[in-house]
Chain A
Amino acid sequence: MAMCIVVIAKENYPLYIRSTPTEYTLKFYYMVHTSLDVVDEISAMGKALVYQRELYLGLFYPTEDYKVYGYMTSSKVKFVMVVDSSNTALIFQKLHNSYTDVMCNPFYNPGDRIQSRAFDNTVTLMMIQVC
């Protein structure tokens, strides 16, 4: 099972990247990057910002079947996830909670890379669950 989780800052640079099976890593990064455009499109449409939006890219890669999900927080921090299952709502919620905890740390400056072990553990848990 392939999966990739990326946390992207407001300025569209990555704060945290984590992925499994490494041979697809580059592909994942590329997909995540292109999905940023879709994210901007959707947010420009004026829908509610905190709802998650699905970006289904099944046709892109007929051999592999995975979807790219996006989720944007109120401070324009995006979580993008490449999965091939669809248990995403819960995962995004947990990610968001974890991210909030990271933000609570006064030693964390917004815009820094996320180096919190708790966040790492949460992401690992996600990946293990899905896989």
Chain B
Amino acid sequence: MEASAGGGCGAGPPLLLSDGEQQCYSELFARCAGTVSGGPGSGPPEAARVAPGTTTTAAAGPVADLFRASQLPSETLHQITELCGAKRAGYFGPTQFYVALKLIAAAQSGLPVRTESIKCELPLPRFVMSKSDGERRIGNPAELLGTKVQIPYLTTEKNSFKRMDDEDKQQETQSPTMSPLASPPSSPPHYQRVSLSHGYSKLRSSTEQMHPAPYEARQPLGQSEGPSSGGPGSKPLRRQASLIRSFSVERELQDNSSNYLDEPWRITEEQREYYVNQFRSLQPDPSSFISGSVAKNFFTKSKLSIPELSYIWELSDADCDGALTLPEFCAAFHLIVARKNGYPLPEGLPPTLQPEYLQAAFPKPKWECALFDSYSESMSANQQPRDLNRMEKTSVKDMADFPAPTQDVTGDDKQALKSTGNEALSKDVSEDPAVNSGLLPPPPALPPRPYPSQSEPVSEGDLHPQLNRAPSQAAESSPAKKDAPHAQPPSKPIRRKFRPENQSTENQEPSTGGTASAATVKPHPTVHKQSSKQKKAIQTAIRKNKEANAVLARLNSELQQQLKEVHQERIALENQLEQLRPVTVL
């Protein structure tokens, strides 16, 4: 019995596979993860042994086909997918795939679909592939062994080469709806799961799968993706190299030039720009932090549930300091966008969203304020939307100003802590956690409930299509500007800058998400009642200021309390010191 590192994920049951099973499964995995046409990609046993340690994932399309070929009913397949952890993880890694295959074998043998079933000896799962390509008979490892070039698995890991042939395309088009991995709770329409970036949209429209791993080398897409895809020059290289049978690797770190769009966790250039601009709207200094409270308010507007936001924060705040640096912010934003588009959240932060990766992958963007203005200036043909824009910017700036003092304080604290390396020490059991936790976390945890509840109705009102009334639209337009971008980051960046006008143009966009359904405003009410709009805008600003005041007051009181506790701590410690001192003196 060859023990495969099925437990490598840490979440699945330990898998024990026999040799035959190992071979078969690794082949199947290679088949699903790599290219499929022209002879199956066989997995030599040594590759299979290495397989669990890698980060390859199988594409959802071939996997779905494979599962269906097992001739099990679809509920069983769904159960299997859930059990094997693909839904949790959001992708079919080797572990999930092997567990799934085992479960299929169990189901085919008549055992119930449970994790216990796979612990016993099972025959190989049987698949009936009714494809024109007769080579796709699986369950016949001996036949597959003699096939093409077998590359040591480790080296092929470096190459994320996929070959796109017509048969693959056929296969993809035949599996448009089977997407066991994507189970968005809000069940957005299919077209809404458009993409996380511009380039994804083409992929989605044809297949609607989470991991179009085999698709990224598709030529027409690649060319149209332009800057956000890998350089076209790398494609011929890929084609040549793909002659060599290779296994696909999805989650490896690529440099910018070969930026594959096959994962949803990779941030494209325009997304990055958008995130950075949003960061700047919250925090003018790009190298500083966004405090927890500011970030909380901002992300709360995305309408995700608090536990989800909490989990996203947990994933993205890598150093757990209660504040987001720019890369952390981008990661968090990206996860939110992904979640809104229906992707399940991953178990751990994907490598492409790690702060180090993001910092290395993207250079520092330009920080001219003029950039931000120029978009709106150039796009705005209407005087009034420009006013609204300015109004919104001032209100946003007010908002940013208010947390700025506290944030500067906490930011300074954090920077001081970090620079002196105290942060590591501060995790000690002694007084430091008290100090650390006293100063840093409570401010982020503090934003009082009235604040979100006040801002919620404001933005809630925006969501409902009551925007026929122009005054309400003016009032809600500022929070709406945050909402709409949340819902629709994949659209062109220029659109987002020009939000008020976009609210009418976005109406015609078929791919606007649920929140942007609010933007069903008719163009004509925007024209009249300027003065009342301005008044409403002022009132909104006043309200926001009041809320900010409330936040700060509460922050203040909590900090006072913390201070008191810290004082007590200090007294206690000093007492201890006194007690210890005579001992040391002697």
Contact = CB atoms under 8 A, between A and B. Distances in A.
A, B co-complexed: yes
Interface of A: 48-50, 73-75, 92-93, 96-97, 100-101, 103-110, 115-118
A15 to B, nearest CB: 13
A71 to B, nearest CB: 9
Given A49-B572, A115-B310, A100 B436 contact: yes
Interface of B: 292-293, 295-296, 306-307, 309-311, 313-314, 317, 320-322, 347, 427-431, 433-434, 436-438, 440-442, 444-445, 447, 449, 565-566, 569, 572-573, 575-576
B445 A75 contact: no
A118 B565 CA distance: 27
A97 B449 CA distance: 26
B569 A96 contact: no
A48 B573 contact: yes
A103 B565 contact: no
Contact of B427 (A100, A103, A118): A100
B295 A48 contact: no
A103 B576 CA distance: 27
A75 B314 contact: no
30 contacts: A48-B576, A49-B569, A49-B572, A50-B431, A50-B433, A73-B434, A73-B437, A74-B434, A75-B434, A75-B437, A92-B429, A96-B429, A100-B427, A100-B437, A103-B322, A103-B437, A103-B441, A104-B292, A104-B317, A105-B313, A105-B314, A106-B293, A106-B296, A106-B444, A107-B296, A107-B306, A107-B310, A108-B310, A108-B445, A110-B442
A108 B569 CA distance: 24
Contacts of B440: 104
A110 B445 contact: yes
Contacts of A109: 445, 449
A109 B449 CA distance: 10
Nearest to A105: B313
Contacts, number: 92
Contact of A117 (B311, B434, B436, B437): B311
Contacts of A101: 314, 320
Contacts of B314: 101, 105, 116-118
Contacts of A74: 431, 433-434, 437-438, 565-566, 569
B429 A104 contact: no
A106 B436 contact: no
A115 B307 contact: yes
Contacts of A100: 320, 427, 433, 436-437, 441
A93 B310 contact: no
Given A93-B429, A96-B429, A104-B441, A116 B434 contact: no
Given A48-B575, A74-B434, 17 more contacts: A73-B434, A74-B431, A74-B438, A75-B437, A75-B438, A92-B429, A93-B428, A100-B320, A100-B427, A100-B437, A101-B314, A103-B445, A105-B317, A105-B444, A106-B293, A107-B309, A108-B445
B434 A50 contact: yes
A7 to B, nearest CB: 14
B292 A50 contact: no
Nearest to B444: A106
A126 B576 CA distance: 30
A106 B438 contact: no
Nearest to B431: A50
Nearest to A104: B322
Nearest to A98: B320
A107 B437 contact: no
A50 B429 contact: yes
Contacts of B445: 103, 105-106, 108-110
Contacts of B428: 93
Nearest to B575: A48
A126 to B, nearest CB: 15
